[in-house]
Chain A
Amino acid sequence: MEAAGGEERVLLTQRLKAAVHYTVGCLCQDVAENKEVQFSKQTIAAIAEITFRQCENFAKDLEMFARHAKRSTVTTEDVKLLARRSNSLLKYITQKSDELISSNMEQKEKKKKKSSAAKGGRTSGEQVIVTESEDSNMA
């Protein structure tokens, strides 16, 4: 997304703010049910605004972290750096990152098994035993 024309950018910003507002509304509703409280509309709007602004800080930091590492693509390492200010946050994000990594590895394993099966059955001496320990639920 190159530098959008002024008007385009305003439109994009509006759409993104609306998307954020909607998602914040959903998340707050969830919290409201769990905690048995109610959030005023202004509260939800305020949290949405705060979140939107925080994204700007996040984005700029992420870009700088990537650039510092001489990359042009932001990776999970950059995101983890972003979470450094609170121990529990960092722990949570690191845990999620590890889950993603193990999920990636399992997907690679499945692809390898599929492609070796597709290349005409068993290689000499090798038996492909496919054990699914978890159902793939990737709808």
Chain B
Amino acid sequence: MAADADAPPPRGARFRGAGGPAARGAMEERDGRAGGFRKETVDRLLRLHFRDGRTRVNGDAQLLMAEMLNVFVREAAARAARQAQAEDLEKVDLEQVEKVLPQLLLDF
């Protein structure tokens, strides 16, 4: 993803490599802190836009969507930061976000 060729993990995303119970614990533990989206928030966000009132999201899908959104935000931030660094700026501003936005949306 991002500017570099074929680096598999999306930049800015953190990998808790461990599988098993640690993974679910890690994913849930990251809620709300520097970690990211809480699954309840994600659920409400999605249901706000469902056309059918009966559509639901299962627990694992909520967790996975929370990860997805975390990656989305981190990617946006990291790409904008990289753009600022390329322009020799210390502060990331709207201009940098605007420049990275098109490719970001195409990638998601």
Q: Which residues of A contact B (CB under 8 A)?
A: 1-3, 9, 12-13, 16, 19-20, 23-24, 26-32, 34-35, 37-40, 42-43, 46-47, 50-52, 54-56, 58-60, 62-63, 66-67, 72-76, 78-80, 82-83, 85-86, 88-89, 91-93, 95-104, 106-107, 133-134, 136-139
Looking at the assembled complex, report how far the CB atom of B62 sits from the nearest CB atom of chain A, in whole angstroms. Answer: 9
**Of A76, A106, A137, which one neighbours B64 at CB under 8 angstroms?**
A76
How long is the Cα–Cα vector from A101 to B21 in the complex, in angstroms? 10
30 contacts between A and B (CB under 8 A): A12-B44, A13-B48, A16-B41, A27-B77, A31-B12, A31-B78, A32-B77, A37-B81, A37-B85, A38-B90, A42-B94, A43-B96, A46-B94, A47-B77, A47-B80, A47-B97, A50-B101, A55-B48, A79-B68, A80-B64, A86-B108, A96-B23, A100-B23, A102-B23, A103-B22, A106-B21, A134-B20, A136-B25, A138-B24, A138-B28
**Of A52, A78, A86, which one neighbours B1 at CB under 8 angstroms?**
A86
How long is the Cα–Cα vector from A50 to B73 in the complex, in angstroms? 9
Known: A28-B77, A85-B107. A2 touches B90 (CB 8 A): no
CB pair A37–B61 under 8 Å, yes or no, is no
Count A-B pairs with CB separation below 8 Å.
239
CB pair B45–A16 under 8 Å, yes or no, is yes
CB pair A100–B60 under 8 Å, yes or no, is yes
CB pair B91–A38 under 8 Å, yes or no, is yes
Known: A38-B91, A51-B72, A72-B55. A96 touches B81 (CB 8 A): no
**Of B8, B47, B63, B105, which one neighbours A100 at CB under 8 angstroms?**
B63
A47-B97, A76-B61 given; 16 more Cβ-contact pairs under 8 Å: A1-B48, A1-B53, A9-B48, A13-B48, A23-B32, A32-B77, A43-B94, A52-B45, A55-B69, A59-B47, A63-B51, A74-B61, A75-B61, A88-B9, A97-B60, A102-B19
